[in-house]
Amino acid sequence: MISQQEHEYKPDVVFPPGETLQETLEALGMSCKDLAARTGLTAKHINEIIKGRASISEDTALRLERVLGIDASFWRNLEHQYRRFLAEQSEREELSQKQDWLSNFPLKAMIQWGWIRELKDPVDQLSELLSYFRVASWESWENVWAEDAAFRKSPAFQSNPYAIAAWLRRGEILADSIECEEFNAKGLRSILGDLKRLSWLSPDEYLPRLQEMCAQYGVAVVFLPELPEARVCGVTRWLRKNKALVQLSDRYKKDDHFWFTFFHEVGHVLQHRKKEVFIEEEGGRDKGPQEEEADRFAANTLIPPKEYSRLVGKGKPKLSEIEAFGERLGIAPGIVVGRLQHEGILPYEQGNKLKKSIKLI
């Protein structure tokens, strides 16, 4: 769909309404002094309007209507168009000095995926990007987005924070369209077993069901492809008091990482403060206690500790044993393989055929 804005006519020059007023006076054979006497305004004020130094107020527009016989709305519209033109020109001048700011973002992918429109004029493109983030200027962008946890980088944090911000914003946009009940921690805990059993299904089947089930307990789950330069696999944040957002990418392309990340984020939702933002980046940041807690929550929810001890108690399990174990626990065997590989019980080249591929675009 082509928006109205794309077809909106924007003239290069808009003349001040005072010029129209001057032409009207000349046509009527009326001087500024006469108009001042008839309107009750000073001749100086009339002259300031004609020169564009003073604006036409609501009161002045009504006075001009009575004296000149031209509707007040005409004068108001002329004034509005002129002042808007001046504001837009001023804004374009400011934006033109910040065109290089565009290079911070992976615009090509954002345009390709329909997140923003592609515009030929760099200033228009910058304006489009600011609208995407719902901010008025790049200074506002810094105030709103640079305060996000995405920008509190550790030495191990390799992602482009601007790309992360773009990815986070897209998650907000998609989450707005997901109707959720009010957050219910007890209810969310009660369906953890049902959620992990979804891992047996294909992504086309489990993604919508996962989203629907979590929405019933106040969690909007959003799936987005990995955005170039944003090496993020998952994010947890609270959009408002009773609505959490869990945002997942296809960074690692396999179901073991996907499901571990999902339950890691659910761990943040259930265990940690609502004011915080948790971003799981490639390779992980320096592990703090909250990240370690979320890791334990995910690991123990997917595979209870006693069950895991039984599986590995006799040494490295066979693939057939892994499949049977996953079936008994109600989780995809690829998840079990991922856990065994992570803990060094299986080499990373073994068991991968049990993993399912994930792609979100």
pLDDT score for 159: 76
Long-range contacts of 283-286 (CB under 8 A, 24+ apart): 283/156, 283/158, 283/231, 284/156, 285/154, 285/156, 285/157, 286/154, 286/156
Q: Which of 3-7, 164-168, 276-280 has the highest mean pLDDT?
A: 164-168
Token pair for 297:
């929550």
pLDDT score for 155: 42
pLDDT score for 15: 84
Question: Across the strands, what pairs with 251?
Answer: none
Query: What is the per-residue pLDDT across 205-233, written as a single tens digit (0 to 9) for each?
Result: 999 999 999 999 999 999 998 898 888 88
Band of pLDDT at residue 273, cut at 50, 70 and 90: confident
pLDDT score for 277: 85
Q: Which CATH class is domain 17-96?
A: mainly alpha
Alpha helices in the chain (DSSP H): 4-7, 17-28, 32-39, 43-50, 58-68, 72-96, 107-112, 122-133, 138-145, 161-176, 185-190, 192-197, 203-215, 255-271, 289-302, 305-312, 319-329, 333-342
Band of pLDDT at residue 295, cut at 50, 70 and 90: very high
DSSP character string of 116-168:
S---SSHHHHHHHHHHHHT-SSHHHHHHHHTTSGGGS--TT--S-HHHHHHHH
pLDDT score for 63: 96
pLDDT score for 358: 81
pLDDT score for 203: 87
CB atoms closer than 10 angstroms to residue 213: 17
pTM: 0.81
Token pair for 67:
């004296």
Band of pLDDT at residue 125, cut at 50, 70 and 90: very high
pLDDT score for 283: 58
pLDDT score for 152: 46
Please tell me which residue, 97 or 243, carries the higher pLDDT value: 243
- Is a pLDDT exceeding 60 seen at residue 257? yes
- Is a pLDDT exceeding 50 seen at residue 3? no
Please tell me which residue, 196 or 11, carries the higher pLDDT value: 196
Ordered by start, the domain boundaries in the chain are 17-96, 100-147, 165-354
